[in-house]
Homo-oligomer: A and B are copies of this chain.
């Protein structure tokens, strides 16, 4: 048994959540424990993971409920695929390149690696409703090689990694405007020297380890970033886990 039971159960339940309607109740912990033939504590570990991912909401005395509304942008971390679906568009991708390259100092810094070590580079043209939306240039640590080897890289990278137990929990984001290089403009269907919205994300997994660094150039006429700001953006050290 290479993967821990609670990880397997987490994945199994995550898949079920995807298919269940929002708001529906999951089986009780005892029932899940019986169904998976494990102890209740193990089921709870899986449910805790789903709850901290925001996919599920646990209500004492009532049950555990599917919570899909992962709604809008704002301070919420979303993958391209989630983002597009939230905007009512159908995401798809075309793989342009996948290769092993040496990490540049910048990439190495973002991924917490030494410069020059091998990393995986992934270039994808991403579509929304079959229209080009952005060109993505992504880098991942070489330790994900096996995961990516078995995966369909025209699917959501975040879902591929999540299935392998690597869940993105936070990200550092940089947004700027750049003139689209002519190759990018051509791929995106833009005029020469049209502006592009460049977003550089460094994603961290649940262990606070950098797991994915991407630079995406979006069509300026098809994409904008929404966010909400507030004066008191502070996380409290208080005991209450919610709110």
Binding site for B on A (CB under 8 A): 3, 7, 10-11, 14, 23, 41, 51-54, 57, 59, 65-67, 70-78, 167-179, 193-198, 201, 206-208, 218, 220, 223-237, 239, 241-243
Contacts and interface: CB of A to CB of B under 8 A. Distances in A.
24 contacts: A3-B239, A11-B239, A23-B241, A23-B242, A52-B52, A54-B208, A65-B242, A70-B208, A72-B235, A73-B233, A74-B230, A74-B234, A74-B235, A75-B230, A76-B229, A77-B233, A171-B228, A172-B226, A172-B228, A176-B197, A176-B223, A178-B220, A227-B227, A234-B242
A174 B73 CA distance: 11
Contact of A230 (B23, B77, B218): B77
Contacts of A170: 72, 228-231
Given A175-B226, A176-B223, 10 more contacts: A3-B239, A10-B239, A59-B241, A75-B227, A76-B229, A170-B228, A170-B231, A171-B229, A173-B228, A174-B226
